[in-house]
């Protein structure tokens, strides 16, 4: 996107401005950004700081029946890039370790203090109908706008038969959703675990159970790293470690895929989606909305940078919408869904060739060696008389894979140019080289 044009367009303040207000599961929110059920939403103090910063809503940290759980120390582990930027983190924390009553009274208080913000109560319980219903009613009575079923926690709670132990069994997903649906008259969000082979099975089960929306993804089961001195998984706790829930930017692609699958599946396409998974920037948010999300939940980015990231999440999304002429979120929600297809629906005749801009090339050779060692050998390196190096694409060898463009450190230096070959759109099932091609 041309940022300069964008800046020019916002000078005109007034009626043209986009509106970030939206609705999910019938709940209106001033913006699509909620904090996900996690440590930042553990208590009144945090939640009120978040609301003061501008967050539209929170999903309160998951509540269970008393007595509350007991947490361990050394709760988080991290996956960094070589510049020490955090790609992802995992945690082995359990649900709220504070008494249920304390949480509920605080929820009531925050509802009074911030009447225009959304609070969703997250809950989990052992697989017994009465326990689910009793807890759901208690939480609903605190004045929350809706209830989210935590069926995803992949560590600790699942060993007690809760969290992902429920979320991985569609029948249990349906039952727990139905129990809560029957117990309360506020919207029900079923939060799904990605630790399953086909996200559509639990999504359809949630729908069958009467969910108003699905929330996904919960964390991805993971071992974040190994301490090579202690020879134990991280985070190391007195010499031992365990698997935990992976989150942050690194899981965004997994979440995008699962959201898209639900949005383009005939049975679930009308289900509201509260998208979660590595949302760090407004661009991430826009991508999830384009793939069908009605609203968004953020956790890791807020944990790493603080609640103030909401400012650019709001600004950036709003500026993007102004730039594109979208008045509100529903104007572009799901716009990328029809373009999300199976491999068999792709055009086999579409042809791209890499093109290297010699003016901006800094001669690092990354494109050359990436192509050379990744089997296509389509980028030629020629040392010039003055010692400089010229990198150019051998069109006949280029398969248009994008690798060179990805490794190039210079923005816009390598572009992927469509070849005007005048060939029709042909999918693999119809392709002449397909020996399995079905008879006409």
Partner 1 sequence: MDKQPIDNTKESRLSAQQITRNFDDLHPPLNAQQAGMEASRCLFCYDAPCVIACPTAIDIPKFIRQIATGNDVGAARTILSANIMGGTCARACPTEILCEQKCVLAKGEDHPINISALQRHAVDPVIAAASSHLFARKPETGKTIAIIGAGPAGLSCAHALAVLGHDVQVFEAREKPGGLNEYGLAAYKMVNDFAAREVEFVLGIGGISIEYNKALGRDVFLEQLQEKVDAVFIGIGLGNANSLDITGESLNGVQDALQFIADLRQAKDKSALEIGQQVIVIGGGNTAIDAAIQAKRLGANSVTLVYRRGLAQMGATAWEQDLAKTNGVVLLEWSKPLKIQGKTKVQSMVFERTKLENGKLLATGDEFVLPADQVLVAIGQSLENQILGDLKTKYGKIKVGDDGQTNICGVFAGGDCIASGEDLTVQAVQDGKIAAKGIHNYLGGGNV
Is 153 among the catalytic positions?
yes
Near partner 1 in 74-113, by CB under 8 A: 81-84
Report the chain's C-alpha Rg in angstroms. 25
Q: What is the four-CA torsion angle of 256, 260, 262, 265, rounded to 10 degrees?
A: -160
> Closer to partner 1 at the Cβ: 226 or 423?
226
Smallest distance, Å, CB 363 to partner 1?
Answer: 6
368 binds partner 1 (CB under 8 A): yes
d(CA 267, CA 199): 13
With CB under 8 A as the contact rule, which of the stretches 254-262, 267-275, 287-295, 361-369 interacts with partner 1?
Answer: 361-369
> Closer to partner 1 at the Cβ: 201 or 369?
369
Q: Measured in whole angstroms, how far is the alpha carbon of residue 142 from the centre of its chain? A: 29
Cβ count within 10 A of residue 139? 27
d(CA 7, CA 219): 37
Near partner 1 in 390-409, by CB under 8 A: 409
369 binds partner 1 (CB under 8 A): yes
Smallest distance, Å, CB 410 to partner 1?
Answer: 6
- Residue 127, both tokens: 């697989």
Bridge partners for 391 per DSSP: 381
- Asked if 334 and 263 touch (Cβ cutoff 8 Å), the reply is yes
> Closer to partner 1 at the Cβ: 83 or 436?
83
Residues 6+ apart with CB under 8 A from 281: 301, 312, 313, 316
387 binds partner 1 (CB under 8 A): yes
Bridge partners for 91 per DSSP: 76, 245
d(CA 283, CA 286): 5
Sign of CA pseudo-dihedral 319, 276, 253, 71: positive
304 binds partner 1 (CB under 8 A): no
Of the residues 22, 153, 367, 398, which is catalytic? 153
With CB under 8 A as the contact rule, which of the stretches 121-129, 300-308, 321-329, 363-371 interacts with partner 1?
Answer: 363-371
Smallest distance, Å, CB 366 to partner 1?
Answer: 6
Residue 46: phi, psi to the nearest 5? -65, -45
364 binds partner 1 (CB under 8 A): yes
* # binding residues, partner 1 (CB under 8 A): 16
Smallest distance, Å, CB 84 to partner 1?
Answer: 6
Pick one of 54, 126, 210, 365: the residue that binds partner 1 (CB under 8 A).
Answer: 365
d(CA 370, CA 160): 47
386 binds partner 1 (CB under 8 A): no
> Closer to partner 1 at the Cβ: 321 or 370?
370
- From 20, 26, 22, select the one nearest 146 (Cα to Cα): 26
> Closer to partner 1 at the Cβ: 137 or 410?
410
> Closer to partner 1 at the Cβ: 389 or 431?
389
Which residues are at the interface with partner 1 (CB under 8 A)? 81-84, 362-366, 368-369, 381, 387, 389, 409-410
Which residues are part of the catalytic machinery?
153
């Amino acid at each position: 996107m041309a940022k300069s044009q964008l800046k020019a367009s916002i000078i005109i303040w007034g009626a043209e401005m986009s509106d970030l207000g939206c609705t999910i599961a019938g709940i209106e929110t001033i913006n699509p950004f909620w904090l996900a059920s996690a440590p930042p939403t553990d208590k009144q103090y945090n939640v009120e700081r978040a609301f003061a910063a501008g967050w539209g809503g929170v999903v309160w940290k998951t509540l269970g029946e008393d007595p509350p759980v007991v947490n361990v120390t050394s709760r988080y582990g991290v996956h960094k890039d070589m510049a020490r930027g955090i790609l992802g983190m995992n945690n082995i924390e359990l649900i709220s370790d504070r008494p249920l009553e304390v949480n509920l009274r605080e929820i009531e208080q925050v509802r009074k203090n911030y009447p225009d913000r959304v609070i969703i109560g997250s809950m989990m319980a052992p697989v017994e109908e009465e326990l689910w219903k009793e807890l759901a009613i208690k939480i609903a009575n605190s004045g929350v706008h809706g209830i989210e079923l935590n069926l995803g926690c992949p560590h600790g709670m699942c060993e007690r038969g809760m969290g992902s132990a429920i979320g991985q069994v569609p029948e249990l997903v349906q039952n727990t959703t139905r129990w809560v649906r029957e117990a309360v008259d506020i919207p029900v969000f079923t939060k799904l675990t990605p630790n399953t082979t086909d996200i559509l099975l639990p999504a359809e089960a949630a729908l069958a159970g009467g969910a108003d929306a699905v929330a996904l993804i919960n964390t991805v089961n993971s071992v974040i790293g190994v301490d090579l001195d202690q020879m134990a998984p991280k985070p190391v706790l007195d010499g031992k470690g365990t698997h935990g829930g992976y989150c942050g930017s690194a899981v965004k692609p997994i979440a995008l895929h699962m959201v898209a699958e639900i949005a383009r599946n005939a049975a679930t396409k009308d289900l509201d989606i509260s998208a979660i998974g590595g949302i760090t920037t407004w661009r991430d948010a826009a991508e999830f909305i384009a793939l069908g999300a009605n609203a968004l939940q953020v956790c890791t980015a807020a944990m790493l940078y603080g609640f103030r990231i909401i400012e650019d999440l709001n600004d950036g999304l709003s500026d993007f919408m102004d730039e594109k002429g979208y008045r509100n979120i529903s104007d572009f929600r799901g716009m990328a869904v029809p373009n999300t297809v199976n491999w068999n629906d792709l055009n086999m005749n579409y042809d791209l060739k890499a093109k290297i801009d010699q003016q901006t090339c800094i001669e690092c050779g990354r494109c050359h060696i990436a192509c050379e060692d990744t089997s296509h050998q389509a980028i030629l390196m020629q040392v010039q008389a003055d010692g400089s190096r010229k990198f150019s694409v051998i069109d006949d060898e280029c398969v248009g894979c994008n690798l060179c463009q990805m490794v190039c450190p210079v923005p816009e230096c390598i572009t992927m140019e469509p070849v005007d070959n005048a060939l029709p759109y042909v999918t693999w099932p119809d392709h002449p080289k397909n020996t399995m091609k079905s008879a006409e």
